[in-house]
């Protein structure tokens, strides 16, 4: 089976698994017409090769956990599990690569970028509610907290730097009295 067909089946199973979830964002995810998308790409981009189409579909699939993050908290674990189940059933080699990536993050003990943040967050969503995995969840939460703390600190430093630049641009701070 081709990568395109595996991804189509994964998208379709995911949609079926979450179709009944009463959440607007989940319904948007369930309504993805992957085969219609492929037909549209073929129509509008005649030179698109199957490998290019597969790469685009895979990138969309990789970004789906980030979109799952927009689902209401009450439904997010179920939607995350549906994504994982659809992937395991229809495109298991994708999960193998994702597990390798997660293990690299865990071994490093640090999230380096937004993509890794969303990968860890997705894992948290999948594991939430499974008390036997509480220790693993605590490690993942600590990684997310450290990453968010670094981002907040960097944002604060950026704001301070911009304020200093604006002050310098207008001739420095007002004189002290």
* pLDDT tens, residue by residue, 117-169: 888 988 887 787 777 778 888 999 999 999 998 888 877 767 777 776 676 66
> Cα(100)–Cα(119) distance, rounded to whole angstroms?
11
> Cα(88)–Cα(82) distance, rounded to whole angstroms?
10
The two tokens of residue 53 are 């189409």
Return the SS3 of 157.
Answer: helix
Length of the chain in terms of residues written: 177
Q: What is the domain partition of the chain in residue ranges?
A: 3-169
- Specify whether the CB–CB gap between 9 and 90 falls below 8 A: yes
Q: Which residue is listed with tokens 């640090």? A: 110
Over range 18-43, report the average pLDDT. Answer: 94
Q: Is the pLDDT of residue 176 over 70?
A: no
Predicted local confidence at residue 35, as pLDDT:
95
pLDDT tens column, 51-94: 999 988 988 998 898 899 899 999 999 999 999 999 999 999 99
The two tokens of residue 109 are 């003990």
> Cα(136)–Cα(127) distance, rounded to whole angstroms?
9
The two tokens of residue 87 are 């992937």
The two tokens of residue 132 are 């036997």
- Specify whether the CB–CB gap between 34 and 61 falls below 8 A: no
């Amino acid at each position: 089976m081709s990568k395109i067909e595996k991804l189509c089946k994964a998208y379709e199973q995911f949609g079926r698994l979450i179709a009944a979830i009463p959440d607007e964002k989940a319904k948007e995810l369930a309504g993805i017409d992957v085969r219609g998308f492929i037909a549209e790409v073929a129509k509008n981009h005649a030179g698109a090769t199957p490998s290019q189409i597969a790469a685009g579909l895979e990138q969309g699939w990789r970004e789906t956990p980030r979109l799952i993050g927009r689902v209401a908290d009450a439904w997010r674990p179920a939607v995350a599990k549906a994504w994982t189940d659809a992937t395991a059933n229809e495109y298991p080699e994708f999960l193998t690569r994702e597990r390798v990536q997660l293990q690299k993050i865990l071994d490093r003990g640090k999230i380096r970028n937004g993509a890794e943040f969303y990968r860890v967050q997705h894992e948290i969503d999948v594991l939430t509610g499974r008390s036997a995995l509480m220790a693993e969840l605590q490690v993942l939460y600590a990684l997310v907290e450290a990453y968010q703390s670094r981002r907040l600190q960097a944002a604060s430093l950026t704001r301070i730097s911009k304020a200093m630049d604006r002050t310098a641009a207008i001739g420095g701070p007002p004189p002290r009295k």
